[in-house]
Amino acid sequence: MDHEARFSEMNLVLPPAPEPKGVYTPLLRVGNLIYLSGHLPVNIDGTLHKGKIGKDIDQEEGKLAARQVGLTILATLIANLGSLNRIKRVIKVFGMVNATTDFEKQPFIINGCSELFVEVFGRENGIGVRSAVGVGSLPENVPVEIEGVFELNEE
């Protein structure tokens, strides 16, 4: 099954692809690789999911926010590439988790995004290398920000 069909069967709604709020591009192609700038958890209505994990929201809500970042990343890929079928595989996910200093479950949070990518791209192509780090704050007080690198199918 192709990525677009798999995503369609999931009956998920993508948020709007975010516009840059600074001097950067959301997506850059270098050869057959796509590099994505850090994405935030954009809701369907364009607002941001907010809160510090361990203070304002719990880890389950944080994991859902990471899944929402994954959907935001998919929206950017589709807006710029036209189809998820242009993606061959996930290469890397780098997740930053806005949490209290005693929070130790950063990988659990970023699993929200990683699990979505497995659902969309399949186990073989949806799992790449990954980092999950804790940070003291993120823009707009969002709980998570995620960057990604993807390999394109040969044209």
Question: In this predicted model, what pLDDT tens digit does every residue of 81-118 receive, in sequence order?
Answer: 999 999 999 999 999 999 999 999 999 999 999 999 99
pTM for the model: 0.96
Q: Which residues contact 73 (CB under 8 A, 6 or more apart)?
A: 36, 39, 113, 146, 148
Q: Rounded CA gap, 42 and 121, in Å?
A: 21
- pLDDT tens per residue across span 21-42: 899 999 999 999 999 999 999 9
> Quick one: pLDDT at residue 154?
83
Per-domain boundaries in the chain = 3-17+25-88+100-137
> Does the pLDDT at position 16 exceed 80?
yes
Assess whether pLDDT exceeds 80 at residue 155: no
| pLDDT classification of 56: cutoffs 50, 70, 90 | very high
> Quick one: CATH architecture of 3-17+25-88+100-137?
2-Layer Sandwich (3.30)
pLDDT for position 1: 59
Which residue do the tokens 């709007």 mark?
16
Structure tokens at 86: 């242009």
